[in-house]
Amino acid sequence: MRMTKARLLEIIKEEVENISLSEAEPEGGEVEADAGEETKKDVQRVGDKLDKTAGLERMLGAINTPQEFHQLMVMFLEKASQHPSIKPNNVKRSLLQLAKEASGQ
């Protein structure tokens, strides 16, 4: 399966949003309504920045195998999880949620 540039950007944006939403979740696992509004603005800002990054689509166009896509996602998640505002457990939770959604559950 070949990954398109648009799908790759969409997946990265979704992951950024999921990580941000996980960060806003209280211990009970439910997202607070006002925290979600703020998070969406933050995620939108990151997504807009990704859209404006010069050469990003060209670079993503070189990612054309499942192995390359996997390596790119691992690299992205490692960089994201190193940021102090993103807890590693939230990265894991987001990935599990994405896997669940992908499997149709």
What pLDDT sits at residue 36? 46
> How far, in Å, CA of 88 to CA of 91, rounded?
5
Contact 47, 16 (CB under 8 A): yes
pLDDT at residue 28, as a whole number: 45
Query: Is residue 12 scored above 60 in pLDDT?
Result: yes
φ, ψ for residue 57, nearest 5 deg: -65, -40
State the average pLDDT over residues 21-46: 59
Of 30 and 8, more confident: 8
More reliable by pLDDT, 88 or 76 = 76
* Predicted TM-score (pTM) of this structure: 0.54
In degrees and rounded to multiples of 5, residue 87 shows phi and psi of -80, 135
CA–CA dist 97, 103 (Å, integer): 10
Residue 3 CA to residue 64 CA, distance in Å, equals: 6
- pLDDT greater at residue 6 or residue 81: 81
